[in-house]
Amino acid sequence: MRPLTDQECKVFFEKLSKYIGENIKQLLERQDGKYCFRFHKDRVYYCKEQLMKKAGHISRDHLLSFGTCFGKFTKTGKFRLHVTALDFLAPYAKFKIWLKPNAEQQFLYGNHVMKAGLGRITEGTPQFQGVVIYSMSDLPLGFGVAAKSTQECRHADPMATIAFHQADIGEYLRNEEKIT
Amino acid sequence: MGRKRNLEKPKSGPGRKARKQSDPKLPRSLQEKKDIKELSHRQKQRLTKRIEKKRIRLEIQAKKLALKNKTKKETEEEKKIRDDDDDDDDDSIEVSSQEASESSEESETETCGANTKPLFDDEEDDSDDSEQVNNDEMQTDDSDDSEPMDDEVGESTDSSDDDDDVSDDHDNDNDDLLPIEKKAAKLHKKEKKDKELAELELQTNIKEMEKFVLPSGQEIEAESKLPPDLAVIQHRIREILHVLANFKERREPDRSRLDYLTLLRKDMCRYYNYNDFLMMKFMELFPQDIIEFLEANEVDRPVTIRTNTLKTRRRNLAQTLINRGVNLDPLGKWTKVGLVIYDSQVPIGATPEYLAGHYIIQGGSSLLPVMALAAQEKEMVLDMAAAPGGKTTHIAALMKNTGVLFANDFHKERLNAVVGNLHRMGITNTVICNYDGRQMKDVLSGFDRVLLDAPCSGTGVIAKDPGVKTSKNQEDIGRCANLQKELILSAIDCLNAESSTGGYLVYSTCSVLVEENECVVDFALKKRNVKLVPTGLEFGEDGYVNFQRHRFHPKMNLTKRFYPHTHNLDGFFVAKLKKFSNKIPGTDDKISDEQKKTEFKKDPNKNVTDSDDQVNGNSSDSDSPQLKKQKKKGLKKKNKKIGQMKKSGQKKKNILKKKKWKKK
């Protein structure tokens, strides 16, 4: 376990800002104590400082997880967000997509969002913007990348892809082994 | 034409106004049902026909029998005379009372049995006391033995045949008796017969209730070669249990209780597919309700879920699930987060709510140890055997995501489920680590609370995993118990007795065996400075203070046991211990008496001498010889160190201990 290096920090925050923009600040400066990001076995964990210190007692091999895992660095040095980060992305997300009830299941099986299943979309979403995807009852289901801007969506074909799938909560069932 | 005035009909009764209301009639439904329905005309006709036919049949039978007995004796002349008489009588009766068809039959029979005898006469006419009949009687007296035989035949074929009775009566006392005497005799006979019948009935009843006869060894051996007949075995189990319920009266005199018990055990093993060892254990545990327990093990427990209070409330969750077509109810009064699922149109483990972490599927019994632990906010808690994370998430929810929670498990692959569950349920205060629980005290200690849901034989969750039925033997149980004892000591060592809010350990297993529960807790009581405290669970059965040869700590009744057949939960055991001193009793003596004295002077609080301590005083004797040598060598050094130790507190003592072990 160690703090992120500058390079890692840059890549990580860049990625994170695609979804929550400047709200990253909210994650680091919280009312209920100090929080930090830590790097452990290629993964980035987000936790309270107190918890991080306690976790420091555990040797590297025996420590599996602490706090919340946000995602992992790939071998090529890119950062990939995991669905476990959803709890912290959803409240701060800038652009959102709501799905119709019959499209929920589709998305939870790992499919992209199609125009037919689109319930609502935040006004002014640009193309290739990171979006958090909700059900109509405001239950966060996952996140992805907008394939079309809001404007384009209006005239899109019903079968056209609106958002690319990146992560969804169905993964808790589909690949529990590789969840972090 | 017009209508004719009916003048002939006489006026009856008073006028219309004075008409009296008829007596009230009970409605049909309220009327008492008569035992015998009144027969319709046709039915009556048929009945008389039937009776007549029967009578004739009997007569023919009787004739044949009597014929055999008598023919040899009778002279030809007598026969002739009688024949004439009979013919006359019969004809007259037949014409008067019977239909043509029957009469023809009758005549046929007569022609067949041309040589007839007294029975006929009797039937027809009581008053017909001719001399010939008397003679007949005289003759038949010789063959008295045979007559009752006839009676019996009649009875056996049809016990309620009055005609027969009548005939018998007349057979015996055709002498000139007063009619009243005849009646009396008749009555006597009837009484006698009733008695006989009653006795017969009684005997048949007794046969049903009769003592169950244990099959012999050979029979059992023979049976064991055949494929098991479950119906027979089940019947026998029931019978044996019936006998055992009142053994004194229902037993077979030459069979011991052991015989019954062995057969019962064997039968239950075969019927429910258990191995002998486990069945023996269960029979010791449940002498009364073994069958209920075994039956409960065949039935699945209801599916229960626990609400994640971090994300939703039970009421809201229940509402959304009901909208999805799930039929559910609160689990019980004792929990505010549990819901029991009766049936569901959607897979309960794959709804969007489940994936969003609003609930977790968890057995009702898994809530109990966490409730007993009652972790507070901002505490440091350890879950020693966490996988798959149901209890861990519950603890974290009770702590409201504050403080620090360590989730440990020995199996790395099982921890994947813990990682998944914790993230799904939105728990952020948890560190997941993968140690052997026995080493945990070396890694980290000073916890406020520890939950040890120890790995066990799983004898309480046979409904979930029927493999347990056959796979466990004495060794496995011993191995489990041994591991549990090591784990519980390690768990106690992790605790911090000085914690202001805690210092509690909850020990739980999903086993019902005493070896894995009370024995382990008793062991811990002897080895460490812990005491039993109430679990805070309102229901459940108290733990055993005495069990067979075991004599446990008198406060063992503070532990709780749960059974599938009484609580409809998995078989479970929960004990809550409080650590009252960080000292480890056995090691004090090793250091030296001197130090002990100084310590007692230092903090009188620790001077709590329990019966446990005294017991543990002896344990130092059982040290290995190596250790004793070391002791002698290191005594001087130690004494020096002890001088330092006097100033310092507990921590340094621990360091010393560690050093000592390193040397070793």
Q: The complex's ipTM?
A: 0.95
Residues B226-251: pLDDT tens digits?
A: 777 888 888 888 888 888 888 888 88
Chain B: nearest CA to A80, how far in angstroms? 17
* In-domain check, residue A17: yes
Do residues A51 and A122 both lie within one domain? no
Do residues A169 and A110 both lie within one domain? yes
Given a cut of 50, is residue B615 above it in pLDDT? Answer: no
The answer to whether B355 contacts A87, with C-beta atoms less than 8 Å apart, is no
* Cβ neighbours of B426 in A, within 8 Å: 87
**Burial of B124 per CB tally in 10 Å (0-12, 13-18, 19+):** middle
DSSP bridge pairs for B578: B504, B531
- Helix count and strand count (H, E) for chain B: 29, 15
Do residues A31 and A56 both lie within one domain? yes
| pLDDT band at A114; cut points 50, 70, 90 | very high
Whole-number Å distance between alpha carbons of B302 and B568: 8
What is the number of other CB atoms lying within 10 angstroms of the CB of residue A139?
18
Please give the distance of CA B621 from its chain centroid, rounded to a whole number: 49
* In-domain check, residue A86: no
pTM for this prediction: 0.67
CA angle B605, B609, B615 (to 5 degrees): 145
Residue B162: C-alpha distances to residues A79, B123, B145, B154, B166 (Å):
105, 12, 22, 10, 6
* In-domain check, residue A11: yes
CATH architecture of the region B365-579: 3-Layer(aba) Sandwich (3.40)
| Whole-number pLDDT of residue B146 | 41
Whole-number Å distance between alpha carbons of B225 and B236: 18
Query: Do the beta carbons of residue B529 and residue B478 sit within 8 Å?
Result: no
Domain boundary among A58, A81, A104: A81
Whole-number Å distance between alpha carbons of B520 and B524: 6
Residues B572-614: pLDDT tens digits?
A: 999 999 999 888 887 755 554 444 444 444 444 444 444 343 3
Which residues of B are annotated as part of the binding site for S-adenosyl-L-methionine?
385-391, 409, 436, 453
Q: What is the DSSP letter of B581?
A: -
Do residues A162 and A118 both lie within one domain? yes
Residues B316-339: pLDDT tens digits?
A: 999 999 999 999 999 988 999 999
Mean residue pLDDT of chain B comes to 76
* Cβ neighbours of B428 in A, within 8 Å: 46-48, 51, 67-68
| Whole-number pLDDT of residue A143 | 95
Domain boundary among A81, A104, A132: A81
Do residues A73 and A111 both lie within one domain? no
* In-domain check, residue A50: yes
Q: How many domains, in total, are found in chain A?
A: 2
Chain B: nearest CA to A120, how far in angstroms? 19
| Helix (H) or strand (E) segment spanning residue B468 | helix B468-471
Closest among B138, B167, B169 to B73, alpha carbons compared: B138
Q: CATH 3.40.50.150 residue ranges in chain B?
A: 365-579
Which CATH number does the domain housing residue A140 bear?
Answer: 2.30.130.10
| pLDDT band at B202; cut points 50, 70, 90 | confident
Do residues A59 and A34 both lie within one domain? yes
- Give the structural domain span for A109: 92-174
Do residues A96 and A168 both lie within one domain? yes
A170 touches chain B (CB under 8 A): yes
Do residues A76 and A98 both lie within one domain? no
Do residues A108 and A158 both lie within one domain? yes
Which CATH number does the domain housing residue A60 bear?
Answer: 3.10.450.220
Do residues A101 and A163 both lie within one domain? yes
Do residues A106 and A161 both lie within one domain? yes
Catalytic residue numbers of B, as ranges: 510
Domain boundary among A81, A111, A144: A81
What is the number of other CB atoms lying within 10 angstroms of the CB of residue B603?
11
